[in-house]
Amino acid sequence: MNAMQLFAVPDLPAVQPGDDIAALIVDKLAAAGAALQAGDILVIAQKIVSKAEGRLVRLADVQPGEQARSLADVVGKEPAVIQVVLDDSNEILRVRRGLLVVEQRSGWVCANAGVDRSNVQADGESEYLALLPADADASAAALRARLAELTGVAPAVIINDSHGRAWRIGTVGVAIGCAGLPPIWNQRGLHDLFGYELVSSEECIADELAAAASLIMGQSNEGRPVIVIRGYAPPDLPPAPARTIQRPAAMDTFR
């Protein structure tokens, strides 16, 4: 492989709770004269998966507790928003002005447990917040199975989200759900151009694909939440879920 193609599924509508994302993808590809092919990889924005699965919280319905109110004074966010973050977190890891880093319930270490209000429509009386999918690996597997049912083609599926990094400025797309491909390529034992054996190299394939797709998705009003990656051939390794990317707490130098 020395080239691959990435393109957005065009004209997807705003996703609502209960929508069949796989059917929307198939319909919009067909309308554009395209179709899924064997070997395709779909990268799907977390936000539309969360919407379809009803992972939405109406802010006006949230009653913040004492801990949320206390943290809100430090962080500088609304107490109700902090409460939503706490409710979907296992552990608080960092707190300072403008920053609340937690371990989200699925194990992802990220700011605000991935809770976000961008591109989530209010109801006229209150804003809604979107949570991460309850199990993004299961969501990816379900979408893959549904696409296979509709088309006979079972593309690999990555669900991505935008996360910051502790040591670098700016967010990047990362995989929080994965089905149909190996997310990690352990290259220990391979050799470089000069014959030196690799002793610590592990490539996070799923994150690299998620980041590439995020460049086309955009971060604001682009409206391109599904990207098709064509021409990438993953290594011949067993597929695994995205949760295998998570570094054990004892090995996490951030903690």
pLDDT for position 121: 80
| CATH T-level topology, domain 5-53+133-246 | 60s Ribosomal Protein L30; Chain: A; (3.30.1330)
- The whole-model pTM stands at 0.94
- Tens of pLDDT, residues 170-217: 999 999 999 999 999 988 888 888 888 888 888 999 999 999 999 999
Task: Kindly state the DSSP code that residue 14 receives in the 8-state scheme.
Answer: P
- Tens of pLDDT, residues 74-89: 999 999 999 999 999 9
Query: Minimal CA–CA distance to 116: which of 213, 22, 48?
Result: 48
158: helix, coil or strand?
strand
> How big is the CA angle at 218 (ends 83 and 229), to the nearest 5 degrees?
115
pLDDT for position 219: 80
Higher pLDDT, 36 or 193: 36
Architecture of domain 56-130: Alpha-Beta Complex (3.90)
Please measure the distance between the N-terminal and C-terminal CA atoms of the chain and give it in whole angstroms: 38
pLDDT for position 80: 96
- Give domain limits for the chain: 5-53+133-246, 56-130
Max mean pLDDT range (128-142, 210-224, 240-254)? 128-142
